[in-house]
Amino acid sequence: MHSMSEPVVFENVTKIFWGSKRVVRALDNASFKIPSKTVAGLLGPNGSGKTTSFKLVMGFLKPSSGKVSVFGVDPWVRGESVRRRIGYLPEKPVYPDVPVYRYLRYVAKVRNASEEDVSRIVRLVGLSGYVWMNTRGLSRGYLQRLGLAQALIGDPELLLLDEPTANLDPLSRREILELIKDLKKELGITIVIATHILPELQEVVDYLLYINRGRVVESGMLEELATRYYVDAYYYIEVEEPRKLASRLVVEDYVRGVEIRDKSLVVRINAAFKEELLRVLSLPEYSIGIRRVEMLTSELGELYEKLSGSSR
């Protein structure tokens, strides 16, 4: 029995596709867990097994061997009960050819959600002016909003977003990212984002899973990985007198940058020097005014390069 603190658990999962010309091992003995209430980034190059992992979580595919467990049950066997607790945005969604509102009402009926729920979500994702348009008439950006809307109906406990900003123009990409950030803040649910575009993950993820050629290369909390791989990280420090602390920190040779905000600082250091930073912050002249210290994010590009290097 798996702990409910890990909604997704893969144990030695292999998925093989038997084609007429070649056999593809999309996942190869993969084992990982996604912790509850995290925003997890599923990273890896194209064809690394990200979409296959999502399809296994959704119960669309049957593992060739190994065990997939979602909310403690096998999604291949009891897929519908699992899927009603998951919001899923596929990489290339194909929607039924009906007006947007009709499609969302249909999803709501299947999930026992109310009409009010549909209206609220339509407003949340910014689709209000497009509900009477046919799904096939929507632009790429609005199709992604529709994808998010259908995924959010019925208050899912887990969101799976497969390349949510792929093929979007910069403005749409920014809007979708802001939406995901709002979801993280407001709903506090587990979100898994599969992507190979790093900047978009930088601001939202706190857990990383890197897969390559179907194998899990590395997984862990972002802070833990940043420390392990000596990657630059950004720390947020809420403090009474930010200028005083900033002037103390800039003289430390491991500090690579300090940005003063209203009543806080954002300090960039190599994550390996975290203990050094904490030591300075614990000095009596600074510690009194400090209210909060947390890692904002780390340099994902750098981490990605190191992980790619280690998997070659």
Partner 1 sequence: MKSYREVAGRIVLQAEFLLSMKARAIYVLVVLVGIVYSLGTVYKAYPIVASFGIIGSMLLEVALIALAAAMFDEISDGTVQMYLAAGLSRLEYVVSWFLVAVVYPAAGITAAMLVPALVVDPATIAMPIVPYTIGGFTPSLLIIAIATCIQILNNVTVALALGLKYKSKGIAYLVLAFLAFLMPLVLSMIVSFLGALAGDYYRYYSLYLLMLPFNPLYSLTIFSSSSPIRLSLTTILSVPAVVALVFFLLALYITRRELEV
Q: Which chain residues interact with partner 1 by CB under 8 A?
A: 58-62, 79-80, 83-84, 86, 88, 90, 92-98, 106-107, 109-111, 150-151, 154
**How near is the Cβ of 148 to partner 1 at its closest, in Å?**
12
Q: Indicate the residue among 109 and 243 with the shorter CB distance to partner 1.
A: 109
Q: Indicate the residue among 42 and 307 with the shorter CB distance to partner 1.
A: 42
Q: Indicate the residue among 60 and 101 with the shorter CB distance to partner 1.
A: 60
**How near is the Cβ of 156 to partner 1 at its closest, in Å?**
10
Q: Indicate the residue among 4 and 110 with the shorter CB distance to partner 1.
A: 110
**How near is the Cβ of 106 to partner 1 at its closest, in Å?**
5
Rounded distance, CA 212 to CA 215, Å? Answer: 5
**How near is the Cβ of 43 to partner 1 at its closest, in Å?**
23
Q: Indicate the residue among 107 and 295 with the shorter CB distance to partner 1.
A: 107
Q: Record the tokens describing residue 125, joined without a space.
A: 């994702």
Rounded distance, CA 74 to CA 141, Å? Answer: 34
**How near is the Cβ of 123 to partner 1 at its closest, in Å?**
20
